[in-house]
């Protein structure tokens, strides 16, 4: 009897949640921290991907994008430095868990390809906390890390906006 009640409760919770399947496109802005805190003033990024619903609570998919870190420019009587911009193209697998109708917790993980000279990129991961503002609009907070080969990491704290284009349903 107890197992039947738990199964019924689990079924009710699962059917009340709504996954966000479809093509996603958006942008984010971030503040670099740690190793690039002094070298890069801010970062902007584009996000794109596709999510598949594995039920009402879990989505999985792929994601990519472009991250551009704007270099600081130092110009004083003692120091003139023109640091390079940092650019990455992340290629990642994505997972999102929907504990409620409007809140998602997720992770993108894969490879961050370095685009600018001397940047080979590295292991990429990005934990994401998202909140649905409407049926297809999400605001999200994330932390991006790219572990580069030379024991340096690109880390940034980001705030973004993401739009979902749901797949067309066949009758």
Per-residue model confidence as pLDDT tens digits over 88-142 = 999 999 999 999 989 999 999 999 999 988 888 899 999 999 999 988 999 999 9
Domain extent, residue 82, equals 2-165
pTM of the full structure: 0.80
Quote the pLDDT of residue 9.
41
- Whether residue 171 lies inside any domain: the answer is no
- Whether residue 142 lies inside any domain: the answer is yes
Mean pLDDT of 137-149: 93
What's 104's domain CATH number? Answer: 2.40.160.20
- Whether residue 160 lies inside any domain: the answer is yes
Domain total of the chain? 1
- Whether residue 170 lies inside any domain: the answer is no
Return d(Cα 104, Cα 54) in angstroms, integer.
14
Nearest to 138 by CA among 101, 94, 97, 102: 102
Please check whether residue 94 is in contact with residue 62, taking contact to mean a CB–CB distance below 8 angstroms: yes
Per-residue model confidence as pLDDT tens digits over 15-61 = 334 456 899 999 999 999 987 777 788 999 999 999 999 988 999 99
Quote the pLDDT of residue 72.
78
Per-residue model confidence as pLDDT tens digits over 50-93 = 999 998 899 999 999 999 988 877 655 555 556 778 899 999 99
């Amino acid at each position: 009897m107890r197992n039947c009640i738990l199964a019924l409760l689990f079924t009710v919770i699962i059917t009340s949640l709504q996954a966000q399947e479809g093509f996603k496109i958006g942008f984010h802005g971030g503040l670099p921290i740690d190793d690039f805190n002094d070298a890069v003033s801010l970062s902007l990024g584009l996000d794109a991907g596709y999510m598949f619903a594995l039920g009402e609570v879990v989505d999985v998919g792929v994601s990519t994008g472009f991250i551009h870190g704007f270099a600081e420019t130092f110009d004083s009587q003692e120091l003139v430095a023109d640091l390079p911009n940092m650019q990455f193209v992340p290629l990642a697998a994505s997972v999102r868990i929907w504990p409620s109708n409007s809140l998602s917790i997720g992770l993108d993980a894969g490879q961050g390809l370095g685009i600018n000279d001397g940047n080979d990129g590295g292991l990429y991961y990005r934990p994401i906390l998202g909140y649905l503002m409407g049926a297809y609009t999400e605001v999200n907070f994330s932390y991006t890390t790219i572990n580069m080969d030379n024991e340096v990491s690109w880390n940034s704290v980001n705030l973004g906006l993401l739009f979902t284009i749901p797949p067309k349903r066949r009758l």
